[in-house]
Structure 1
């Protein structure tokens, strides 16, 4: 019974990691289009779903993605309840992190399944970010809450980037099952992709803090607007292209995790 449960959890985890990889790879590809001058589609989860729905068998692919994300949520729930793999897998810190990720991926799975059910356009990440920020600012102490959330997101981005740069992900991978070439490829994707992902989180958090300080929810940015903001920096299109390529690489790294991660 325990072996069957473990196999189901592992299957759910690998399906979820693969689904995450699809989303990040598509968002990165859409951001590369923006860097090349084609900004016709949002570079966020909504844009990725629209890209999938426009393909042959799009509905099937969307539902497969939703199922994979449900698997990711169930895997994180299992880690929160029973502990994760590794020596520190049963610590309160790992359990709390797993619980937060379970909530996040439950929301993502719901949004993908809702999109697949009616194949309609929902709110973009930018619209959602502004709406949530506006509601939060109206609460008592709302400015402090939004600022704290922004600082948390920014620090989380720094943490993601540092962990990627130090290759801490290796502790969760079955390195013995890889060839030397595969380990090198995974390191390139893991380090570059993780740093790019962390940079996006950090910039998004900074915009959220600015929205709180100025009491202007329109200054909060979702994923698409955050990515587009890189284009406003010096050598902007080149910088955006580098970040976008990094997100594509993180998508590929997620596929590698789906194969080699210990769960």
Structure 2
């Protein structure tokens, strides 16, 4: 399970690094040739590299490893004194479901289903929002979900700034330089990731208030929204570097995470 978890962190890091690179290209290169700054865009970019098909299979299997590790946390409890708490187990179960779905989509894409893992996050967000808004009380559901995403994003960013990630790392075996490098990428990456989540949540709230599904944005459109602000290209570039930093931090977790 430890090996499966570390492989999953490595795969997650690669995806975030590619999203960061694509976002940086969008910041100063227009639409970047139609590339999507989200997981689907990262997988499409990976598929175009030498041995791309093999890399997709490796990433999909590694993410399946992450899902299995999260499942083991839900069943047996995680590392640390509080790893067996019911709240921790429930969170681990939720993450198991998330990574299982992501892994399945990546493996389906690797097997030839091009409409699976590389789908646009923006289109999926629009479709889901439109469906929920059509339900009785749909505006409230979307609005509450949006507020929850905003809160989650702010929580992620705050924990990154406070370096709460340290408690999950085996700092005793890390050199002083390794700790400093990991702190830098953890703070920069977690803060950028949290900001993106929070902004996406704001767009969901706007979609609920206006009853317009198109106002909700997936990761790609959320990142492009930064570019449309004053000094937008530079702001998006900072966010892009932050997402790439989170990718590197994920690699640090693959090496030093307590599992």
Instruction: Please report the TM-score for the alignment, with normalisation by the length of structure 2.
Output: 0.96
Identify the residue that residue 199 of structure 1 maps to in structure 2.
195
State the alpha-carbon separation in 1 of the partners of residues 99 and 45 from structure 2: 20
C-alpha distance in 2, partners of 1:186/1:102? 25
Corresponding residue for residue 149 of structure 2: 153
CA distance in 1, matches of 2:214, 2:113: 28
Q: Does 1:18 align with 2:14?
A: no
Q: Deviations over 1:150-179 (max 9, x none)?
A: 111110000100110000100010112111
**Which has the larger displacement, 114-123 or 52-61?**
114-123
Q: In 2, distance between residues paired with 1:177 and 1:235?
A: 42
Q: What residue number does 1:107 align with?
A: 101
| Residue in structure 1 matching 2:84, options 82, 87, 90 | 90
Aligned equivalents of 1:106, 1:45: Cα separation in 2: 15
Give the aligned CA root-mean-square deviation in angstroms: 1.0
Name the stretch that deviates more: 114-123 or 215-224: 114-123
Give the alignment partner of residue 63 of structure 2, picking from 36, 54, 69.
69
> 1:44 maps to what in 2?
38
Indicate if the aligned counterparts of 1:156 and 1:201 stay in contact, CA closer than 8 A: yes
Runs of 4+ in 1 over 6 A off after TM superposition: none
TM-score, normalised by the number of residues in structure 1 = 0.95
2:250 maps to 1:231: no
1:230-249 alignment runs, 5 A limit: 230-249=226-245
2:51 aligned partner: 57
**Deviation readout 1:103-154 (Å, 9 max, x if unpaired):** 1111111111111111625530000000011111111211111111111111
* Counterpart-to-counterpart distance in 2, 1:20 and 1:36: 25
Contiguous gaps of at least 5 residues in structure 1: 1-8
Q: CA deviation at 1:38?
A: 3.9
Q: State the alpha-carbon separation in 1 of the partners of residues 139 and 105 from structure 2.
A: 27
Contact 1:18 1:258 in 2 (8 A): yes
Note the C-alpha offset of 1:234.
Answer: 2.0
Aligned residues: 255
Matched, 1:213 2:209: yes
- For 2:177, the equivalent position in structure 1 comes to 181
Query: Which of 133, 136, 139 is equivalent to 1:140?
Result: 136
Matches within 5 A, 1:116-127: 116-118=110-112, 120-122=114-116, 123-127=119-123
